Structure 1
Amino acid sequence: MSMLLLLQARGTMTARELADELEVSVRTVYRDVESLGAAGVPVYGEPGHDGGYRLLDGYQTRLTGLTGAEAESLFLTGVPSAAAELGLAAAVTTAQLKLKAALPAGLRDRVSRIAERFHLDAPSWYHDADDTPHLAAIAGAVWNRHPARIRYLRWAEPHETSRVVEPHGLVLKAGRWYLVARRDGQFRTYRVARILSAEVLPGTFERASGFRLAEYWDTYLDQFDRRRHRDVAVVRLSGHGLERLSGLLAPAIPAGGPGADGWTEVRIPIESVEWALPELLKLGADAEVLAPLELRERIVATLSAMSGLYG
């Protein structure tokens, strides 16, 4: 079934391409092609350098090979709000209707229950969604490989800059959109909400060979955390404090197990003393800062001021 859907979606594929995609041997591909032919599927091979396996023109298979779990999962792979922001809400709705029509009656009833019981809401709590008036234009440039001239508001001076970029992808992270684009031969990341204007330019560009958006994003996040967390705080936490720490700061590294008093000493990557101060104060009496000394002194000064304020 996987091979059949691959050929239906991509057209001609060599035995090696099929083997790599399906993570099987070329011998297995040869065997499975024979099995498809024996089952009446019109798949045939074309010899030569540009040859490969393909389906007879016009052949389409109905999605009768999907299991219940597979059919249901297809209706959980998209975030409706994200599709709407990209201008694809109508297309997603139409695609889901077509998919339902292609499914057998039994599976059709099961997937109809998905929208009634599951709703995906990407943005985090207590944060308004970004205003992204230029997202649709940027998405069109990504899809059609058009360069774009963007006016961008950045943190460093000069704050407002203009540059021509080659958009390679868009990422939705915690309800915020980010553009991954090539400029001067280097890939850079731009928060779409900080794009002040976007002009899609004529012509097309060649995408970077071997570029994988998901791989780039994982590397970018890792490097971002390394640049951001330039210091380490050593903190003692009660059991309750250890539970509450999750979601406030970067993952903590325990120095060992809990002591006799039930408290655990951990090392926490932090951006700066100013940034860590309010976050650690949220833990109240369930946390004691041991280092750096400046952070500990700032905690003491803050608590002293609060004590004086409340009498």
Structure 2
Amino acid sequence: MSDLDLHTTREVALAKVLSTLSERDKRRAVEIQERLHVDPTGWNFPVDQVPHLRAVQDAVWQNRRLSLVYRQESGNIMTPLVDPLGLVVKAGIWYLVGATRETIRPFRIARIQQVEVLQETFSRPEAFHLAQYWAEWCARFLPSYPVTLRISRDAVPRLLQLFGEALSDRLLQSEPDASGWRTVSLVFETMETARTALLGLGPMAEVVEPRELRASVIEWASGLLACYSNKAQNRVDLN
């Protein structure tokens, strides 16, 4: 949140404790909620560099139209005019949700090559809700890979980093067994991202389902063990 200078006590209070605020501050907090959504669930992407974030932020707050030079994931360049409706940050990755002539869509801010904040303003669609839009967009366009795990107590802090505090409720609903392990259902983007995360957890997590993921984790763990064992043996031979 410090990217937007929203880390001060006042701004955090506006977003979290609406019921304690004056009518003026409530209106300000509602404006923030309409224009900024924080998705706490993790993606396995490095944190972007976002030199144009401040200009985009200003346009979102002022209802000013944007002219973008934008690099798509394919590498193609597009130059849309965009009505900036809101910002979403997902695990350190910033997105602009904007309306073009054709549709409402997200733009990854790190892919914005140039931005011009126009003098022209726009009217926000009354029926648009940022958090609802983002949830629906993720459900429609992001791949999902459900996984059932047995996890130890030591795995919980790492999983909270990946999935956010919302995972706490699901963990509380799962009773630990005699050894203190819990069974929990999670959704990753793909089998590959699930495998990477679970290899990082080591002996703190066990895959229950799907069986293909369990087999893949075993294969990769066996490969890692063989790799390091061979290197250790080579060092012994050299000595």
Offset of residue 132 of structure 1: 3.4
Q: 1:148 aligns with which of 60, 66, 73?
A: 66
Q: 2:9 aligns with which of 60, 73, 76?
A: 76
1:289/1:296 contact within 8 Å kept: yes
Whole-angstrom CA distance in 2 between matches of 1:270 and 1:145: 35
- What's the secondary structure of 1:260's corresponding residue? coil
Q: What is the match of residue 187 of structure 1?
A: 104
Q: What is the match of residue 217 of structure 2?
A: 299
User: Structure 1 length normalisation: TM-score?
Assistant: 0.50
Q: Which of the pair is proportionally richer in strand?
A: 2
Q: 2:154 aligns with which of 240, 244, 252?
A: 240
Structure 2 regions of 5+ residues with no counterpart?
Answer: 1-7, 13-41, 230-239
- For each residue in 1:185-229, what CA deviation from the matched residue of structure 2 results, as whole angstroms up to 9, or x when unmatched? 643222322211123445443332355xxx41x224423553536
Higher RCO structure (Cα 8 Å, ≥6 apart): 2
- What's the secondary structure of 2:150's corresponding residue? strand
Q: Percent identity?
A: 33
Q: What is the match of residue 262 of structure 1?
A: 180
Change (3 A) 1:206 1:234: closer
Q: What is the match of residue 223 of structure 1?
A: 136
Whole-angstrom CA distance in 2 between matches of 1:128 and 1:289: 25
Whole-angstrom CA distance in 2 between matches of 1:133 and 1:308: 44
Q: What is the match of residue 58 of structure 1?
A: none
Letter in 1 for 2:159: L
Name the larger-Rg structure: 1
The CA RMSD measured in Å over matched residues stands at 3.4
Letter in 2 for 1:271: E
Structure 1 regions of 5+ residues with no counterpart?
Answer: 1-74, 80-123
Q: Is residue 275 of structure 1 aligned with residue 193 of structure 2?
A: yes
Offset of residue 291 of structure 1: 1.4
Q: What is the match of residue 22 of structure 1?
A: none
Whole-angstrom CA distance in 2 between matches of 1:153 and 1:263: 45
Change (3 A) 1:140 1:244: closer
Q: Is residue 207 of structure 1 aligned with residue 124 of structure 2?
A: yes
- For each residue in 1:43-96, what CA deviation from the matched residue of structure 2 results, as whole angstroms up to 9, or x when unmatched? xxxxxxxxxxxxxxxxxxxxxxxxxxxxxxxx62248xxxxxxxxxxxxxxxxx
How many pairs are equivalent?
Answer: 187
Whole-angstrom CA distance in 2 between matches of 1:243 and 1:140: 35
- What's the secondary structure of 1:247's corresponding residue? helix
Whole-angstrom CA distance in 2 between matches of 1:287 and 1:280: 7
Whole-angstrom CA distance in 2 between matches of 1:134 and 1:241: 37
Whole-angstrom CA distance in 2 between matches of 1:221 and 1:131: 22
- For each residue in 1:7-31, what CA deviation from the matched residue of structure 2 results, as whole angstroms up to 9, or x when unmatched? xxxxxxxxxxxxxxxxxxxxxxxxx
User: Structure 2 length normalisation: TM-score?
Assistant: 0.63
1:229/1:269 contact within 8 Å kept: no
Whole-angstrom CA distance in 2 between matches of 1:266 and 1:194: 36
Letter in 1 for 2:152: S
Change (3 A) 1:206 1:264: closer
